[in-house]
């Protein structure tokens, strides 16, 4: 048997009941290399075990940050009610829909203010409906992006009450997901956001693939 050593720390690799020191799996090395920015051929239990835990934590945190950035950028995807925007050239991808149900507050909350009951303007109710709209729009944008689109046209918002006694309100959004081919019709902020999603998505997928075998592992 040859005296195999660890490519990283040169410790002897030995396979015994006691004092065993094994080379770690390639998927473990991949996690360490990706997090540390190294390209080491392999790690052994001695030098790699702790390093693996810190590396995986680092990559998982990076993934969370990337997901936040993607969410922010996705919120820049144009959502418009116009059916045929001036000068836009595009391919139609298809219908996108989303729903969000919210309690309007009148029946579901004890701590309602008097204006909610009798006032002309119901503050908390308006806010809840607004929040539901935002949730719907975010879902439309995510779905559109996943379908390969970069804008949504002909958007329609509908409101309906569900459950007459409970004061539940459903907000429904529908629209047509499209892929705009002449991006110059977008403003600079939108163009930058769309470009940013593309770039960061590649990074996200790469890190995600490396972490995948250990995604459910709690640290």
Q: Which residues bind Zn ion (CB under 5 A)?
A: 6, 8-9, 11, 44, 46-47
Q: Which is nearer to Zn ion, 50 or 65 (CB)?
A: 50
Which helix (H) or strand (E) covers residue 173, if one does?
A: strand 168-180
Nearer to Zn ion, 12 or 61 (CB): 12
What is the C-alpha separation between 16 and 20, in angstroms, rounded? 5
CB of 19 to Zn ion, least distance (A): 14
> How crowded is the C-beta side of 188, counted as CA atoms within 13 Å?
0
Exposed, middle or buried: residue 7 (CB in 10 Å: 0-12, 13-18, 19+)? middle
CA angle centred on 111, ends 115 and 127, rounded to 5°: 60
By the 10 Å C-beta count (0-12 exposed, 13-18 middle, 19+ buried), 194 is classed as buried
Beta bridge partners of 158: 172
Least distance in angstroms from the C-beta of 4 to Zn ion: 11
CB of 56 to Zn ion, least distance (A): 17
Least distance between Zn ion and beta carbon 18 (Å): 18
Is-contact 117 124, C-beta < 8 A? Answer: no
- Nearer to Zn ion by Cβ, of 9 and 215: the residue is 9
- Residue 91 in contact with residue 174, Cβ under 8 Å? no
Nearest approach in angstroms of CB 48 to Zn ion is: 6
| DSSP-derived 3-state class of residue 131 | helix
């Amino acid at each position: 048997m040859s005296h195999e050593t660890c490519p990283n720390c040169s410790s002897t690799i030995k396979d015994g009941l006691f004092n065993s020191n094994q080379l770690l799996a390639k998927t473990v090395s991949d996690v360490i290399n990706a997090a540390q920015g190294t390209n080491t051929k392999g790690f052994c239990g001695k030098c790699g075990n702790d390093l693996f835990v810190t590396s995986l934590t680092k990559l998982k945190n990076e993934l969370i940050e990337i997901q936040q950035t993607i969410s922010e950028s996705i919120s820049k995807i144009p959502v418009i009610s116009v059916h045929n925007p001036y000068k836009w050239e595009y391919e139609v991808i298809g219908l996108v829909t989303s729903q969000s149900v919210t309690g309007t507050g009148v029946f579901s909350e004890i701590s309602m203010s008097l204006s909610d009951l009798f006032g002309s303007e119901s503050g908390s109710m308006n806010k809840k409906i607004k929040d539901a709209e935002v949730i719907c729009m975010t879902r439309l944008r995510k779905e559109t992006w996943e379908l390969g689109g970069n804008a949504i046209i002909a958007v329609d918002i509908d409101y309906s009450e569900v459950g007459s006694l409970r004061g539940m309100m459903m907000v429904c959004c529908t629209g047509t997901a499209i892929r705009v081919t002449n991006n110059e019709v977008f403003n600079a902020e939108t163009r930058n956001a769309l470009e940013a999603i593309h770039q960061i998505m590649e990074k996200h997928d790469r890190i995600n693939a490396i972490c995948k075998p250990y995604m459910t592992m709690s640290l």
